[in-house]
């Protein structure tokens, strides 16, 4: 912007006196400060709306660097120096210190008004603009973080989508067009992944199958009920509706028909076992030696509330089953030593933090030569023994204990029952750890010496 100055100030402004000029400066500025040649504030006027206790009248007679923030003093000295050289300095920003550490941002213009070095600073209040700048900066940072998180999520989704073991096609429920397809699905359908996106899902199949595919897809998109169908002369389709990013999508898993598998009848039992595991009512998960999920069936995805297997693959199974580190060590160690571990109680948590009581069996497996485990989870039967009276190790029920009250001192009853419970805990821990005393002590929170003393006291032998 090109500045323009008065052409004839000596003609048109010659009659203006000092009071009128002072009123003019006060009206034109939010804050006007007169600084002498020694950088001391000699006078000021302002029309600022300041909080209570932030009065700036005390600036008069103070060195101006005492009321300017440390980070603004260099800019102020530069502006005062230029003004005293006869230049008019426009639009430089200064932060003042007001009260106990509060800042007052101002935008000044500076001009020399006398030969003795006096300079007048005419300022504009920048608090509103500074607030807008801060909000804009915060909004920009938030947008950048959101975009960075979205890019990271998309990269992870793409990696899992392509690396997952299942052939999957993601289809928009409303339009029926393919949004995404991984290489495994494209291979089964004899397609290229690039050419399939944007096409109608039914058009990926032969003409004889398109009508059936379109009808099944419409039912799933409208009713929301998952369906599974074996196309005549084609693959097996499993369709499930879910919502992601505000859009209804249908996830289609594509499986080869049994007769389409290579190997003839020799691998038929293995294929049937795979199909059984995939469609079992129990939740089944395969994990590697480190506990990361490499495969999960439909029942597990349903319990964990996951729309696609890619959201389970690669995650630690302990993010779903919140076992302690001691429990993990004992369970997996016993699975390695004995081949399997029977039903172990646990809680399976979904992505919303809701837990489901399950009984988990662990089987040691060889997953590609690197070792691993298979976890089978059944819903826990919480009512199996709900009608039975609690019994101790000597068969006494709560009713029989009540009959002893009045005949045996309460402290003796309590000590007797506490001993029975303590003995049952030790015996249960020994069974769980395969009679490993070190592991048993860790599970019970005892030292090994304390465990040995209690075993001797109760006459417990571990078979070692």
According to DSSP, residue 200 is labeled B
Report yes or no: 285 and 295 within 8 Å, Cβ to Cβ: yes
The β-bridge relationship of strands 89-98 and 102-112 is: antiparallel
pLDDT 10s digits, 258-288? 544 444 555 566 667 777 888 888 899 998 8
CA torsion through residues 448, 452, 453, 454, sign: positive
Kindly tell me if the per-residue pLDDT of 387 is higher than 50. Answer: no
Cα–Cα dist 180/312, whole Å:
19
> What is the third-level CATH fold of 263-383?
Beta-Lactamase (3.30.450)
Three-state helix/strand/coil letters over 343-400 = EEEEEEECCCCCEEEEEEEEEEECCCCCCEEEEEEEECCCCCCCCCCCECCCCCEHHH
**Could you tell me the pTM of the whole model?**
0.36
What's the rounded mean pLDDT across residues 246-258? 81
Q: How does residue 157 score in pLDDT terms, banded at 50, 70 and 90?
A: low
- Give the burial string for 423-434 (b: 16+ CB within 10 Å, else e): beebbebbebbb
- Give the burial string for 22-51 (b: 16+ CB within 10 Å, else e): eeeebeebbbbbbbeeeebbeebebeeeee
Report yes or no: 71 and 95 within 8 Å, Cβ to Cβ: yes
What's the rounded mean pLDDT across residues 353-360? 85
Cα–Cα dist 341/374, whole Å:
11
What's the rounded mean pLDDT across residues 385-391? 43
pLDDT 10s digits, 13-69? 656 667 777 777 777 788 899 999 999 999 888 888 777 656 788 888 999 988 898
pLDDT at 391: 45
Decide if 9-125 and 398-458 have a common fold: no
> What is the third-level CATH fold of 9-125?
Beta-Lactamase (3.30.450)
Cα–Cα dist 255/16, whole Å:
94
Cα–Cα dist 91/89, whole Å:
7
Label residue 461 exposed, middle or buried (CB < 10 Å: 0-12, 13-18, 19+).
exposed
pLDDT 10s digits, 409-421? 666 667 766 777 7
Q: How does residue 311 score in pLDDT terms, banded at 50, 70 and 90?
A: confident
Look up the CATH superfamily of 164-260.
Answer: PAS domain (3.30.450.20)
Label residue 105 exposed, middle or buried (CB < 10 Å: 0-12, 13-18, 19+).
buried
What's the rounded mean pLDDT across residues 231-251? 84
Domain boundaries, the chain: 9-125, 164-260, 263-383, 398-458
pLDDT at 101: 65
Report yes or no: 335 and 373 within 8 Å, Cβ to Cβ: yes
Calculate the alpha carbon distances from 30 to 17, 26, 49, 225, 414 in Å: 21, 7, 10, 68, 82
- What is the number of alpha carbons within 13 Å of residue 166 lying toward its C-beta? 26
| CATH numeric code, 398-458 | 1.10.10
Cα–Cα dist 220/229, whole Å:
12
């Amino acid at each position: 912007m090109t500045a323009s100055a008065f052409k004839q100030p000596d003609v048109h402004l010659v009659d203006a006196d000092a009071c009128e000029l002072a009123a003019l400066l006060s009206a034109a500025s939010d804050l006007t400060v007169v600084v002498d040649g020694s950088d001391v504030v000699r006078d000021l006027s302002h029309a600022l709306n300041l909080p209570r206790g932030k009065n700036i009248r005390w600036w008069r007679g103070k060195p101006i660097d005492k009321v300017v923030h440390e980070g603004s003093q260099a800019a102020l000295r530069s502006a005062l120096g230029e003004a005293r050289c006869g230049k008019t300095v426009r639009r430089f920003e200064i932060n003042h210190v007001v009260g106990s550490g509060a800042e007052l941002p101002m935008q000044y213009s500076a001009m020399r008004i006398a030969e003795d070095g006096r300079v007048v600073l005419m300022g504009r209040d920048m608090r509103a603009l500074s607030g807008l700048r801060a909000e804009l900066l915060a909004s920009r940072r938030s947008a950048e973080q959101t975009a960075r998180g979205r890019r990271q999520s998309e990269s992870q989704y793409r990696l899992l989508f392509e690396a997952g073991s299942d052939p999957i096609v993601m289809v928009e429920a409303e339009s029926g067009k393919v949004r995404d397809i991984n290489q495994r699905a494209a291979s089964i359908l004899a397609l290229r992944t690039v050419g399939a996106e944007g096409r109608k899902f039914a058009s990926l199949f032969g003409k004889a199958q398109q009508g059936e595919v379109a009808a099944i897809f419409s039912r799933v998109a409208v009713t929301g009920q998952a369906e599974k169908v074996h196309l005549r002369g084609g693959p097996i389709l499993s369709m499930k509706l879910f919502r992601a990013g505000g859009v209804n999508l249908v996830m289609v898993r594509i499986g080869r028909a049994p007769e389409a598998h290579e190997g003839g009848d020799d691998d038929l039992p293995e294929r049937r076992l795979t199909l059984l595991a995939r469609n079992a009512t129990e939740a089944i998960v395969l994990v590697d030696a480190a506990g990361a999920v490499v495969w999960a069936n439909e029942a597990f995805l349903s319990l964990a509330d996951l729309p696609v297997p890619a959201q389970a693959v690669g995650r630690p199974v302990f993010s779903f089953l919140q076992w302690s580190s001691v429990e993990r060590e004992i369970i997996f160690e016993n699975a390695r030593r004995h081949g399997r571990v029977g039903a172990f109680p646990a809680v399976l948590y979904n992505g919303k933090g809701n837990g489901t009581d399950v009984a988990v069996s662990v089987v040691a497996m060889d997953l590609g030569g690197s070792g691993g485990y298979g976890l089978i989870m059944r819903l826990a039967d919480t009512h199996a023994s709900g009608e039975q009276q609690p019994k101790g190790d000597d068969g006494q029920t709560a009713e029989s204990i009540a009959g002893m009250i009045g005949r045996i001192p309460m402290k003796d009853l309590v000590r007797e029952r506490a001993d029975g419970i303590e003995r049952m805990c030790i015996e249960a821990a020994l069974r769980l750890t395969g009679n490993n005393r070190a592991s048993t002590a860790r599970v019970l929170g005892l030292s090994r010496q304390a465990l040995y003393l209690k075993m001797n006291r109760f006459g417990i032998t571990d078979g070692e």
